[in-house]
Structure 1
Amino acid sequence: MTLPPHRKQEIRARYLEVDTANVADVLDELGYPDYGLSSAFWPIREGSKLAGWAYTVRGQMTPYPGSGDPAKMEAVSGLEEGEVSVWSGGGAEGVCFFGELIALGMRERGCAGALIDGGIRDIRWINEMQFPVFTRYRTPVQSIGRWQVNAWQVPVYLPGATAERVVVRPGDFILADFDGAIVIPAELAETVLERAEALTQKERLIREDLRQGASLPEVLAKYGHV
């Protein structure tokens, strides 16, 4: 799906106003039940929200000589505004995929945050720059000499909530908040957004009716199940 930059930014801004729970409900209704990600993903800063178009980076545990990973630098140099860097490859291995400096470089390119099936370090400094990150674990151990990027902008696997694996393709939409993280297939991004916005508005009306003294059976009869 190719959208002009201004349209992509508009969609991203609107997704920031809806919750992953409502998006998950909409995907269920549309027949896409297995796009929620593992509950092991957590935000390094409480209350942060992550929304953007997936830019995938894939790597693997492998020993190698030298003092850096040129492929990693080349991979992140392609990030564009409003994209989320999605890191796949060995989430239980115990090394960090990036830290403060690479996060700073991504933010300066307009990157909207990172979703990491792996580890992160320099959490204090990344939080100070208010860069949204959802990750599997924290570790001080660097990846240099241990874990290496082998591809980017290719479909990748991430661990799922109701399925062992969820495929994330470049250009799919990523949304993560206090409840967890979910993937919205690119071709469904606008449809899901519109329905999630409608559901969000319905919930606002229900809350208001309840505050005004209506009973739960009354509001369910009025608005239906949510």
Structure 2
Amino acid sequence: MMSLTSRLARPATLSVARRTFAIGPASGGEISDELLGRLGSLSTQALVDGLWVMGWPSAQIDGARALAPGMKCCGRAVTLNFVPARPDIAADKPAGGESPEYEAFEKCGPNEVLVMASVGPEESVGGDIKFLRLKQRAIGGLVTNGSVRDTDEIINYGFPCFSHSTTARQGPAAMQPWECNGVISVSGTTVRPGDAIVGDQDGVVVVPAKVAETVYSIAHGREEIEEIVKEELIKNPGPPGKFYPFMSGKVKVESPLGQLLAKHGITPENSNQFEGSADW
């Protein structure tokens, strides 16, 4: 019988027409702590824009919002997938501390975010007793498209938590944890173990590990430009239409925006935001 536990050491496979494809964590795309810090310094909007410019699919997890004001998280994804409850699945799931959910807990630390794929937005993925272990592990955050119980206690635990909502529901009646560190879908967004997960008051974004450095480069450049435009509009109030909209990699040197950026030392020679200078 196929193991329900982690595929991190031995990736799960999908056989199609006698060809086998690895679907575990990304190879050659490990995100360093240093890059995590840089990604975490950016807004979720800038990161979404960066992936959009590159033509990647939707990156935001629409079903996860901050449990309390001021919460922000940034870390590498450890994933946990739930499936609808069924007696034989409940019987086959490893018991106690061997359960996939506790396996996932132990893989988390300050630079990891636990991403839990619920079977529905109102279903409980856990509460204070289970999540006490996440506090002890000092995890970087918890993200789910489901709901959480014991809200006040979870907030007191101090780690950032992003969920669809809160609930008094009893989770195991509806679903069972099935797999740790597989590729999951959360609100229609794919999450792969090791991806960067960044959350703030606007939501949660998934940055694929393999392109994280490029996404940072684009997003950081966009944020620099937006700060310059905002500063200019504060000094000289007026409609922002002369500067917007702009597309990273397509800013024209002779445009009003290009000329404004040049005054601040941003040119095609030192920025990938201009027409013909993109590196993606």
> Shorter chain as normaliser: what TM range?
0.7 to 0.9
Counterpart residue number, 1:162: none
1:85 deviates by 0.3
Q: Which structure has the bigger radius of gyration? A: 2
Q: Determine if contact 1:69/1:148 at 8 Å carries over to the other structure.
A: no
2:113 to 84, 88, 96: 84
My pick for the range that moved more, 70-79 or 192-201, is 70-79
Distance (whole Å) between structure 2 residues aligned to residue 36 and residue 74 of structure 1 = 26
Structure 1 residue 57: Cα displacement: 0.5
Flag structure 2 segments of 5+ consecutive residues without an equivalent. 1-27, 245-255, 261-272, 274-280
RMSD, aligned CA: 2.6
Aligned to 1:195: 218
Aligned-partner Cα distance in 1 for 2:74–2:120: 21
- Which one of the candidate residues 148, 152, 158 is aligned to 2:186? 158
Return the letter of the residue paired with 1:116. T
Per the alignment, residue 8 of structure 1 pairs with 32
Q: CA deviation at 1:2?
A: 5.6
1:56 CA drift (Å): 0.2
Task: Flag the 1:129–1:80 CA change in 2: closer, same or farther, 3 A.
Answer: closer
Q: Report Cα offsets for 1:41-66 as digits up to 9, x if no partner.
A: 21111231222111001112315579
Normalising by structure 1, what TM-score? 0.83
1:130 aligned to 2:153?
Answer: no
Q: Post-superposition, which runs of at least 4 consecutive aligned residues in structure 1 deviate over 4 A?
A: 63-66, 217-220
Seq. identity, %:
24
Unaligned residue ranges in structure 1 (runs of 5+): 160-164
Contact kept, 8 Å, 2:42 with 2:219, in 1: the verdict is: yes
Partner of 2:123: 95
Q: Name the amino acid aligned to 2:61.
A: L
Task: Tell me what 1:73 maps to.
Answer: 102
* Secondary structure at 2:219 match in 1: helix
Q: Tell whether the 8 Å contact from 2:80 to 2:177 is kept in structure 1 after alignment.
A: yes
Q: Give the deviation of 1:16 after TM superposition.
A: 2.2
Q: Structure 2: how far apart are the matches of 1:218 and 1:167?
A: 37
Greater shift, 207-216 or 116-125, is seen at 207-216
Query: What is the letter of the counterpart of residue 36 of structure 2?
Result: R
State the 1:146 CA deviation: 4.0
Choose from 125, 144, 168 the match for 1:140: 168
Q: What is the TM-score normalised by the length of structure 2?
A: 0.68
**Partner-residue secondary structure (3-state), 1:96:** coil
1:148/1:26 Cα in 2 relative to 1: closer, same or farther (>3 Å)? same
Q: Is the 8 A contact 1:84 1:114 kept in 2?
A: yes
Q: Distance in 1 between matches of 2:131 and 2:37?
A: 21
User: When the two structures are aligned, how many residues end up with a matched partner?
Assistant: 215
Offset of 1:69 from its aligned partner? 5.3
Partner of 1:212: 235
Which structure has more RCO (C-alpha within 8 Å, separation ≥ 6)? 1
Cα pair distance change 1:41/1:57, threshold 3 Å: same
Aligned equivalents of 2:96, 2:124: Cα separation in 1? 13
Paired residues of 1:58 and 1:149 also in contact (CA < 8 A): yes
Helix, strand or coil at the partner of 1:103? helix
